[in-house]
């Protein structure tokens, strides 16, 4: 090597070397996107593709990026077709991406995002669509694997809280390609069976891929269509699936689902004890209250000597009777006396009695004459005496003063 | 008493207790409420102890009918 090269010459030499390699000209590669940038003006995409141990820069030009069916994001696992070449200006080799698609969990993530959006638009996750979990459940339906830890956990907690609870299990695989269809069928089976008040669907923890059945559209649909309230219980606390979103209630774990499903019978039993005791106490208080009132009344002397009360009353009664009859006799006598007095008075006032004393009644045409003005000389007047009527004529009229009135 | 749900019975029981504890009832009414409360509490206890606590597996047999098989966890 005697020649002295410029930097540009070296870079272009390396570029030639790489470009002439058939393997590097067309390769499929998988990795995780990081440091993703989209230049708005140019429309080109720049990012770093990495795995656990190393990284490589990548560029996807606008003309290629236009065909993408998803939005690349940091953290996304992708599968891409690219060539490797040198970016001479910076002296580094990089990937020139021709096409790209999601891969693995990154791809799942994308699929889930799209499915979630689609189902959300259909109203699957709307809170108002969620059914209430009944408070006192006697029969619980479970859709899970009959061999799984989840079933054991659920049954243990159910029994602990409510020893009388009945469990109706529908076995289903919970991972693998059969799982979505079987889980959905299990839900439908319990719905057509109808005799459970609540359904728990779930499985124990596992890898993200293991839980994928609970993200499937089949399962989400079946949960959505269930007429019986559904509690989802998938994996651990951190795991979140579409089944959790559509379920009427999401339990963080299968054990928690069991706690949410049935009331704690011991607590209920204690509550019943409490109510019974309170009923008894309140009733006792009431009775005691009345007993005291009665006691207080009975304490009075009168109750101790009922006979004396009776005698007192009898005496009073006979006194009243005596007074009454005496009163009646007296009143009668008095009335009688007053009556005879009145009769005598009436008699002395009678006009006949007066006529007997010589007085007469002077009338003119049937009217009693009290005043000389009522008569004229020559008038004919009638005179009523004790034993006769006369007819007379006025011959003289003279006013006299008899007594001062 | 007509067929009650456990839930409703428990609620009625609670009401009976509160009514009686208020002390506002006449004696006769108190006795009625007390009797009703005791009846409700017995009903609730019976409901609690009624179920057998089985675990069964539901399948559809070949005839398309539901079948419950005993199952041990």
Could you please state the CATH topology (level 3) that the domain comprising A128-263 is classified under.
Rossmann fold (3.40.50)
Q: Is the pLDDT of residue A351 over 90?
A: no
pLDDT above 90: percentage of residues in chain A: 42
Min mean pLDDT across A177-186, A265-274, A285-294, A323-332 is at: A323-332
Tell me if the pTM is above 0.80: no
Q: How many CA atoms lie within 13 A of A185 on its CB side?
A: 12
Residue B49: closest CA among chain A residues belongs to which residue?
A164
Instruction: Return the number of CB contacts < 8 Å for A and B.
Output: 101
Which of A159, A265, A290 lies at the smallest CB-CB distance from B48?
Answer: A265
Residue A365 has pLDDT above 60, yes or no: yes
pLDDT category at A316 given cuts 50, 70, 90 is: confident
Q: For residue B7, list chain A residues with Cβ-Cβ distance below 8 A.
A: 134-136
**Mean pLDDT, rounded, for A76-99:** 90
Of all residues in chain B, the one with the smallest CA distance to A146 is B73
| Domain locations in chain A as residue ranges | 7-103, 128-263, 300-349, 354-393
Task: Name the more confident of A106 and A46.
Answer: A46
Tokens 């006194």 label which residue?
A319
Please provide residue A125's backbone torsions phi and psi, each rounded to the nearest 5 degrees.
Answer: -105, 5
How does pLDDT run across A117-158, given as a tens digit for each residue? 889 999 999 999 999 998 888 899 999 999 999 999 999 999
Q: What is the rounded average pLDDT for all residues in chain A?
A: 87
Q: Could you report the per-residue pLDDT of A219-276, keeping only the tens digit for each? A: 999 999 999 999 999 988 877 889 999 999 999 999 999 999 998 888 888 988 999 8
What is the Cα–Cα distance from A324 to A329, expressed in whole angstroms?
Answer: 9
Nearest to B16 among A141, A166, A279 (CB): A279
Q: Which residues of A163-195 are buried (b: 16+ CB within 10 A; e: fewer)?
A: ebbbbbbbbbbbbeeebbbbbbbbbebbbebee
Percent of chain A with pLDDT over 70: 95
Asked whether the predicted pLDDT for residue A1 surpasses 60, the reply is no
Residues in chain B with CB shorter than 8 Å from the CB of A155 are 55, 73
Q: Which fold has domain A7-103?
A: OB fold (Dihydrolipoamide Acetyltransferase, E2P) (2.40.50)
**Beta-carbon neighbour count of residue A32 at 10 Å?**
20
pLDDT of res. A50: 93
Q: Which residue of B has its CA nearest to A194?
A: B66
Among chain B, residues having any CB pair with chain A shorter than 8 Å are: 5-7, 10, 13-14, 16-17, 20-21, 23, 25, 27, 30-31, 34, 37-38, 41, 44-45, 48-60, 66, 68, 71, 73
Smallest Cα distance from B4 to chain A, Å: 13
Convert the pLDDT of each residue in A15-36 to its tens digit. 999 999 888 888 888 899 999 9
The band of B1, judged by pLDDT with boundaries at 50, 70 and 90, is very low
Q: What is the CATH number of domain B6-70?
A: 1.10.287
């Amino acid at each position: 090597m005697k020649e002295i090269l410029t930097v540009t010459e070296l870079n272009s030499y390396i570029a030639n070397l790489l470009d002439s390699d058939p393997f590097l000209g067309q390769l499929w590669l998988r990795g995780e996107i990081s440091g993703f940038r989209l230049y708005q003006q140019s429309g080109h995409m720049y990012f770093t593709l990495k795995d656990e141990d190393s990284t490589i820069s990548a560029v996807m030009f606008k003309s290629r990026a236009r065909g993408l069916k998803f939005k690349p994001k940091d953290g996304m696992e992708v599968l891409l077709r690219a060539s490797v070449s040198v970016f001479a200006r910076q002296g580094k080799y990089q990937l020139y991406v021709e096409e790209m698609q999601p891969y693995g969990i990154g791809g799942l993530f994308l699929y889930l995002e799209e499915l979630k959006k689609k189902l959300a638009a259909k109203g699957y996750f709307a809170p108002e669509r969620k059914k209430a979990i009944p408070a006192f459940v006697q029969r619980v339906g479970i859709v899970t694997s009959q061999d799984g830890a989840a079933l054991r956990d659920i049954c243990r907690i159910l029994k602990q809280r409510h020893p009388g609870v009945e469990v109706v299990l529908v076995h289903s695989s919970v991972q693998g390609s059969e799982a979505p269809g079987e889980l959905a069928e299990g839900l439908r089976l319990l719905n057509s069976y109808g005799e459970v008040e609540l359904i728990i669907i779930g499985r124990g923890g596992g890898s993200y891929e293991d839980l994928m059945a609970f993200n499937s559209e089949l399962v989400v649909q079946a949960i959505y269509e269930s007429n019986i309230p559904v509690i989802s219980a998938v994996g651990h606390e951190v795991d979140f699936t579409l089944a959790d979103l559509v379920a009427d209630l999401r339990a963080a774990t299968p054990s928690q689902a069991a706690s949410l499903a049935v009331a704690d019978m011991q607590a209920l039993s204690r509550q019943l004890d409490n109510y019974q005791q309170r009923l008894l106490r309140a009733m006792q208080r009431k009775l005691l209250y009345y007993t005291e009132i009665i006691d207080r009344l009975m304490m009075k002397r009168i109750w101790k000597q009922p006979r004396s009360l009776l005698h007192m009353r009898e005496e009073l009664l006979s006194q009243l009777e005596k007074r009454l009859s005496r009163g009646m006799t007296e009143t009668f006598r008095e009335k009688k006396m007053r009556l005879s007095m009145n009769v005598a008075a009436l008699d002395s006032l009678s006009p006949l009695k007066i006529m007997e004393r010589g007085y007469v009644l002077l009338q003119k045409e049937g009217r009693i004459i009290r005043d000389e003005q009522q008569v004229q000389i020559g008038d004919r007047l009638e005179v009523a005496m004790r034993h006769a009527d006369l007819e007379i004529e006025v011959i003289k009229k003279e006013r006299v003063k008899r007594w001062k009135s | 008493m007509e067929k009650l749900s456990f839930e409703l019975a428990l609620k009625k029981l609670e009401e009976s207790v509160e009514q009686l504890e208020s002390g506002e009832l006449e004696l006769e009414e108190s006795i009625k409420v007390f009797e009703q409360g005791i009846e409700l509490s017995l009903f609730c206890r019976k409901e609690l102890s009624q179920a057998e606590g089985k675990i069964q597996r539901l399948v559809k047999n070949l005839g398309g009918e539901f079948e419950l098989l005993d199952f041990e966890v």
